[in-house]
Amino acid sequence: MEQYYDAFVEKFAHFMNKQVVGDPMDPNTQVPPMSSARLVQDIHAQVTKTVEQGGILITGGQILDEEKNMYAPTVLAVEQGMCSWEEEVF
């Protein structure tokens, strides 16, 4: 399985980067906003903490529009014991 890791991560990150984040009423939107500003802040804090713990931010990891609760689709490489391994991210 390890021989497929790099290719998978590259293709998955490319796929996530192509996702359209936006208004859920827009038929072109693939990723709607988060349900609340607090959730956006919580997720961003979790992503930041994971990176500080040695996790690798592959793509995303930023607030796109704080007023509209939009967060970039994010891919992290994590290990057991890291924040995003131990806690649900959503």
pLDDT tens-digit map of 33-76: 999 999 999 999 999 999 999 999 999 999 999 999 999 999 99
CATH of the domain at 57: 3.40.309.10
A 10 A CB-CB count for 40 gives 20
Structural domain range at position 42: 2-86
Question: How many domains does the chain contain in total?
Answer: 1
Residue 89: its pLDDT value, please? 78
Q: Which carries the bigger pLDDT value, residue 23 or residue 88?
A: 23
- The model's pTM is 0.89
Confidence of residue 2 (pLDDT cuts 50, 70, 90): confident
What local confidence, expressed as pLDDT, does residue 87 receive? 87
Residue 55 belongs to what H/E stretch?
A: none
CB burial class (10 A; 0-12, 13-18, 19+) of residue 20? exposed
